[in-house]
Homo-oligomer: A and B are copies of this chain.
Amino acid sequence: MTKGKATNIVWHPGAVTRADREQLNGHRGCTVWLTGLSGSGKSTIAVALEKDLCARGVRSYILDGDNIRHGLNKNLGFSPADRTENIRRIGEVAKLFTDAGLVALTAFISPYRADRDQVRAIMQAGDFIEVFVDCPVETCEERDVKGLYKKARAGEIPEFTGISAPYEAPARPELVLDTQAQSVDQSVAALVDYLDAQGYLGRS
């Protein structure tokens, strides 16, 4: 550790690096960015994936509406500018978690390609894994787990993605999960296979 000249100030040469953190954890940090319609299965997959990763000793953390919209982003609404700022902040936090050596799992509709591309742009190459949780809007509406489609059809929610606002599917996602055709377990298995094959899960 390098001591400063006349004071008791020590400067950064001794700093812990991301590589140190990843070595301690035994796996890489990254961001798994789940995008898709409301009801497509993003949160469900995130929760199941987190459980699977935890059982493997891989540290992950879910960023979702529950812990973001009521906390960091509670001063944001649903205007176009606020939606963009919402995704921007989530991207910055996911970047911090990635740098901290964790697998950040984000579960937000994030309907706009430009917003997602902006998150990708602030990350290091390979840190951003865009996962399209693909499900026809008809199926999402049938499920309507939160009753939001019903409200949207009744005109109670303006600009509801897939009904009265656009969803821009990823052009080149790292992974596509067809949640109409496959079960949650199958989606999680596909995700774990991808992460493992790409070397994110480290020693095994």
- Which residues does chain B contribute within 8 Å of A50, judged by CB atoms? 15-16
Give A residues with C-beta under 8 Å from B. 1, 7-12, 14-16, 20-21, 24-25, 41, 44, 47-48, 50-51, 54, 57, 59-61, 63, 67, 71-72, 75, 85, 89, 92-93, 95-97, 99-102, 122, 143, 145, 179, 182-184
Do most interface residues of chain A lie in helix, strand or loop, or is the interface mixed?
Answer: helix
- Which residues does chain B contribute within 8 Å of A61, judged by CB atoms? 21, 96, 99-100
How many copies are assembled? 2
CB < 8 Å: which of B12, B51, B95, B97 contacts A16? B51
Q: Is the CB of A184 within 8 A of B10?
A: yes
13 contacts between A and B (CB under 8 A): A8-B183, A9-B44, A9-B143, A10-B47, A11-B44, A15-B50, A15-B51, A21-B61, A59-B101, A61-B100, A72-B89, A75-B85, A93-B96
